């Protein structure tokens, strides 16, 4: 019997994602000037207000208010009617120095490779062969919808001139019993918008008619502009492209109106979209958020490393679906365990426990080794803070950091999303005799 699975995504203007991006922009700024910075910062955003808190140990100074305002402006909160605007919002900082009790478990080792984990916990990585980027299809489509909607809002506003920054998407996929995607069952898109149709009279009925007219226009544009553009992005992936048929059910702004949104409509917090950030609910999650944390925090670095392992195992042909778990104790370098689950889809004559032993010999999972292998002591994190940390395209970019408190700008070539590279495929194939 067929079954259904749903994943959601949120836009860069969603209040929780605004918070994530500010936290990661602060992290990047610290790492740009001092790569050894230890950072764990949280952000809260609400009507006209940004609150920054957390712990930092660094040799540099960062104007945190300036960084926060720059992020907010780049997202698109630049109008006073949003009641959350880059230039006028208040920014309150309560960032203080990292606890020595935590720091001594991480630093101060004679051998840098013995650097301990920044905290205890378990982290998961996952990969599946159902898409070209080894991500669950429902989540991949959900991200694609909102990336394209943001592109239209920022670069082709004449197509949908009423768009505001806050938005959410959700996609339900119908699967056959063997786990093959059969069709897209439902697409949900909720986008914040200007009030572009006004009531003819000052009555409730006229107001409801105006709201219905706005909803109808937005639904029309989503189906006639957004969906075809997203479908076109999958034109080289025939198995996915064909899933866009005329039987898809659409729910566009199902409440009927979405003018009040962003941090004014809903308070945002760092780390409150961890399922959007990872695998859309298709895989386990250890519970630790990513944004605002430097790579000594294994919540982030080990989750990236586990994704790197899972993706290379699937790409190498070890299994068509893989879940990796790794766990740590604070201050201890070696992980407590490495666990592998292939969901019965292994293509090698080995148990999952035997696969885990091979993984342990192939991938050094000590925190410092992960930092070096994936080049995580670089300012690469703002780009991760919206539209998912996994399934992204690795690329080299040049980033420039300027501050009136520093004599010169910092210009760095960095590599984004290194954990998405398929650089261990050959080593994996050799180890498994593939």
Q: Report residue 105's pLDDT band, with 50, 70 and 90 as the boundaries.
A: low
Among 92-96, 236-240, 383-387, the range scoring the smallest mean pLDDT is 236-240
Point out which residues pair with 395 in neighbouring strands.
416
For residue 232, the model assigns a pLDDT of 94
As annotated, the binding site for Mg(2+) includes 16
Query: Does one domain contain both 153 and 209?
Result: yes
Q: Express as a percent the part of the chain with pLDDT over 90.
A: 89
Confidence of residue 10 (pLDDT cuts 50, 70, 90): very high
* 166 is a domain residue: yes
**Residue that terminates a domain, selected from 262, 288, 317:** 262
Q: What is the pLDDT of residue 111?
A: 77
Output the furthest CA–CA distance in the chain (Å, rounded).
76
Q: Which residue's entry shows tokens 């809002």?
A: 153
Confidence of residue 108 (pLDDT cuts 50, 70, 90): low
Residues 246, 305 within the same domain:
no
Residue 98, pLDDT score: 65
Q: Tell me: do 311 and 412 sit in the same domain.
A: yes
**Which residues form the domain of 314?**
121-127+297-432
pLDDT recorded at residue 55 = 94
Binding residue numbers: 14, 16, 42, 55, 98, 166-168, 257-258, 266, 272-273, 289, 293, 297
- The answer to whether position 50 is within a domain reads no
Indicate if 233 and 325 belong to the same structural domain.
no
Count up the domains in the chain and report the number: 2
| CATH number reported for the structural domain that contains residue 210 in this entry | 3.30.300.10
Examine residue 401 and state whether it is found in any structural domain, yes or no.
Answer: yes
Tell me the binding residues for K(+).
42
Average confidence score pLDDT of the chain: 94
Residue 100 domain-assigned? Answer: no
Provide the H-helix boundaries in 286-415. Answer: 298-316, 352-362, 367-373
Q: What is the mean pLDDT of residues 236-249?
A: 91
Co-location of 210 and 308 in the same domain? no
Is the domain of 146 the same as that of 235?
Answer: yes
Give a yes or no: residue 388 inside a domain: yes
Q: pLDDT grade, residue 397 (50/70/90)? A: very high
What is the rounded radius of gyration, in angstroms, for the C-alpha atoms of the chain? Answer: 23
pLDDT digits (tens, 9 = 90+) for 129-140: 999 999 999 999
- Looking at the structure, tell me whether residues 226 and 304 fall in a common domain: no
Q: How far apart are CA 1 and CA 361, in angstroms?
A: 40
In a domain? residue 282: no
Residues contributing to the annotated binding site for ATP? 14, 166-168, 257-258, 266, 272-273, 289, 293
Residue 301 has pLDDT above 80, yes or no: yes
Same domain, 228 and 326: no
Are 37 and 56 contacting, i.e. CB atoms less than 8 angstroms apart? Answer: yes
Please give the Cα distance from 292 to 41 (Å, whole number): 5
Residue 279 resides in a domain:
no
Burial, 111: exposed, middle or buried (Cβ in 10 Å; 0-12, 13-18, 19+)? exposed
**190-228 pLDDT per residue, tens:** 999 999 999 888 899 999 999 999 999 999 999 999 999
407 pLDDT band, cuts 50/70/90, is: confident
pLDDT at residue 107 in the model: 60
Q: What is the mean pLDDT of residues 79-105?
A: 82
- Out of 211, 241, 262, a domain closes at 262
Q: How far is CA 73 from CA 12, 21, 76, 81, 161, in A?
A: 12, 12, 5, 14, 18
* Average pLDDT over every residue of 79-94: 95
Does residue 379 share a domain with residue 422?
Answer: yes
Q: Are residues 250 and 317 in the same domain?
A: no
Q: Are 213 and 199 in contact (CB under 8 A)?
A: no
- Give the per-residue pLDDT at 189: 98
Predicted TM-score (pTM) of this structure: 0.95
Average pLDDT, integer, range 251-263: 94
| pLDDT of amino acid 237 | 86
Are 220 and 338 contained in the same domain? no
Average of per-residue pLDDT across 71-96:
95
Residue 28 lies in a domain: no
Final residue of a structural domain among 203, 235, 262: 262
Together in a domain, 168 and 230:
yes
Nearest CA to 377 out of 284, 262, 265, 297 is that of: 297
Q: Please report, in range form, the residues annotated as the binding site for L-methionine.
A: 55, 98, 266, 297
pLDDT higher than 90, residue 109: no
Does residue 112 have a pLDDT over 90? Answer: no
């Amino acid at each position: 019997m067929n079954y259904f699975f749903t994943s959601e995504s949120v836009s860069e203007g969603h209040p929780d994602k605004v918070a994530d991006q500010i936290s990661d922009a602060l992290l990047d700024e610290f790492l740009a000037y001092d790569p050894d910075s230890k950072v764990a910062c949280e952000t809260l955003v609400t009507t006209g207000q940004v609150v920054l808190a957390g712990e930092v140990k660094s040799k540099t100074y960062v104007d945190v208010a300036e960084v926060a305002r720059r992020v907010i402006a780049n997202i698109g909160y630049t109008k006073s009617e949003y009641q959350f605007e880059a230039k006028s919002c208040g920014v309150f900082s309560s960032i203080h120095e990292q606890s020595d009790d935590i720091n001594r478990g991480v630093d101060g080792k004679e051998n840098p490779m013995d650097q301990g984990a920044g905290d205890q916990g378990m982290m998961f990585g996952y990969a599946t062969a159902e898409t070209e980027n080894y991500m669950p299809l429902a989540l991949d489509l959900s991200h694609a919808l909102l990336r394209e909607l943001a592109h239209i809002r920022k670069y082709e506003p004449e197509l949908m001139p009423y768009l505001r920054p806050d938005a959410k998407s959700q996609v339900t996929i119908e699967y056959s019993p063997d786990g093959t995607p059969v069709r897209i069952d439902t697409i949900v898109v909720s986008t914040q918008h200007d009030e572009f149709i006004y009531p003819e009279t000052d009555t409730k009925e006229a107001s409801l008619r105006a709201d219905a007219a706005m909803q109808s226009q937005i639904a029309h544009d989503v189906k006639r502009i957004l969906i075809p553009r997203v479908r076109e992005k999958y034109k080289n992936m025939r198995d996915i492209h064909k899933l866009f048929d005329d039987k898809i059910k659409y729910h566009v702004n199902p409440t009927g109106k979405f003018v009040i949104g962003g941090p004014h409509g809903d308070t945002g917090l760092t780390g409150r979209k961890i399922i959007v950030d990872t695998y859309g609910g298709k895989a386990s999650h250890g519970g630790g958020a990513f944004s605002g944390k430097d790579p000594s925090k294994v919540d982030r670095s080990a989750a990236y490393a586990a994704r790197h392992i899972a993706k290379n195992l699937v790409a190498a042909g070890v299994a068509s679906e893989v879940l990796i778990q790794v766990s740590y104790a604070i201050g201890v370098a070696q992980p407590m365990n490495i666990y592998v689950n292939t969901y019965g889809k292994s293509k090698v004559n080995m148990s999952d426990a035997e696969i885990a032993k091979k993984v342990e010999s192939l991938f050094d999972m000590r925190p410092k080794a992960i930092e070096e292998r994936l080049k995580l002591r670089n300012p690469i994190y703002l780009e991760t803070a919206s539209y998912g940390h996994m399934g992204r395209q690795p690329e080299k970019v040049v980033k420039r950091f300027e501050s009136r408190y520093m004599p010169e700008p910092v210009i760095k070539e960095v590599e984004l999303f290194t954990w998405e590279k398929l650089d261990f495929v050959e080593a994996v194939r050799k180890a498994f005799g593939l």
